[in-house]
Amino acid sequence: MDNKKINEDLVKFWDTALTISAEDKEEALKYTDLDYKELAPSVKLLNAVSELGQCENVLDYGCGTAWGAIVALKAGVKKVDAVDLGENIIDSAKFYAKLYNAEKGFNAFKVDENWLNEVKDDTYDGIICSNVLDVVTEDISLSIINNLSRVLKKGSLAVIGLNFYMSEEKAKARGIELVDGNKLFQNGVLRLLSLSDEEWSNIFSQYFNIIKLDHFAWEGEPVESRRLFILEKQ
Ligand SMILES: C[S@@+](CC[C@H](N)C(=O)[O-])C[C@H]1O[C@@H](n2cnc3c(N)ncnc32)[C@H](O)[C@@H]1O
């Protein structure tokens, strides 16, 4: 399968997975005591994104349901562009922004895969990119990283969330096949581009100063093996 098809298929997957049905929307609207902090997949991510609170103009790239954009706005950011490739995803992002009363400064829109190439240099003073760079093919990931660095102002921060690393040996021991040694497919859909902390660090350090590499877990996970990078534009 070529990379174009792999990336198209994974966007279709996420656009379906992140759709909120009319019934679920109706149900969610019944809650009056929602706390936006619960949207973040972990407290470490919540805190990292909240650190962007002084920013004027933030990009949440591959926003999904836009937890990052919502947290950033609640932390004080003036304006956030929350972009993704799926129509339903953007509908969900807008729904969450409304649900959590974070519509002021919230600018969610569907983009195509070329959009980031067209954004002007130094447009943003903060970036959030959570669980995107390691769910796409490596060529796309590298192109996104290059562009994120280009559109971020010098000295500004990017908060990057990544899944865990699964080595080839570990995958084999679990009966999982990693294609080309680092790509995990589930039902034909790319779900993980598995690079080690060192490999990601080597890529990021071509464009950014690595301020922090931390590890976190989603609720219920016993080990903190997901990666949180805080990067500063060189
Ligand atoms: C695992 S979800 C993460 C969503 C959200 N950022 C979060 O942390 O919950 C991956 C997201 O990346 C988006 N995506 C996939 N390929 C992309 C690309 N080339 N450019 C931007 N977003 C992409 C998907 O549509 C999906 O919303």
Owning domain of residue 49: 3-233
- Residue 197 belongs to domain with CATH number: 3.40.50.150
Ligand 1 mean position, distance from CA 18 (Å): 10
* pLDDT per residue as tens digits for the range 131-157: 999 999 999 999 999 999 999 999 999
**Which atom of ligand 1 is found nearest the CA of 7?**
16
How many angstroms separate the alpha carbon of residue 62 from the centre of ligand 1? 4
Ligand 1 centroid to residue 101 C-alpha, Å: 23
Q: Residue 62 in contact with residue 147, Cβ under 8 Å?
A: no
Whether residue 85 has its Cβ less than 6 Å from ligand 1 = yes
Task: Decide: 40 in ligand 1 pocket, CB within 6 A.
Answer: no
Counting ligand 1 atoms within 8 A of each CB, the residue from 8, 9, 12, 14 with the most, and so the one to mutate, is: 14
Closest Cα partner for 188 from 4, 19, 13?
13
CB of 14 closer than 6 angstroms to any ligand 1 atom: yes
DSSP calls for the chain: --HHHHHHHHHHHHHHHT---HHHHHHHTT-S---GGGGSSSHHHHHHHHTTTT-SEEEEET-TT-HHHHHHHHTT-SEEEEEES-HHHHHHHHHHHHHTT--TTEEEEE--TTHHHHSPTT-EEEEEEES-TTSS-HHHHHHHHHHHHHHEEEEEEEEEEE-----HHHHHHTT-PPBTTTEEEETTEEEEE---HHHHHHHHTTTEEEEEEEEE--TT-SS--EEEEEEEE-
Atom 8 of ligand 1 has which residue's CA nearest to it? 130
Ligand 1 atom 15: the closest Cα is on which residue?
A: 11
- Residue 26 phi/psi, 5° resolution? -60, -45
Distance CA 120, CA 20 (A): 32
Instruction: Return d(Cα 143, Cα 118) in angstroms, integer.
Output: 12
pLDDT at residue 156, as a whole number: 98
Q: What is the DSSP letter of 106?
A: E
Centre of ligand 1 from the C-alpha of residue 205, in Å: 22
Residue by residue, pLDDT tens for the chain (234 residues) are: 799 999 999 999 999 999 999 999 999 999 988 999 999 999 999 999 999 999 999 999 999 999 999 999 999 999 999 999 999 999 999 999 999 999 999 999 999 999 999 999 999 999 999 999 999 999 999 999 999 999 999 999 999 999 999 999 999 999 999 999 999 999 999 999 999 999 999 999 999 999 999 999 999 999 999 999 999 999
Look at the chain and report how many structural domains it folds into: 1
* Phi, psi dihedrals of residue 27, rounded to the nearest 5°: -65, -45
Cα end-to-end distance, the chain, whole Å: 36
Please state the pTM of the whole predicted model: 0.98
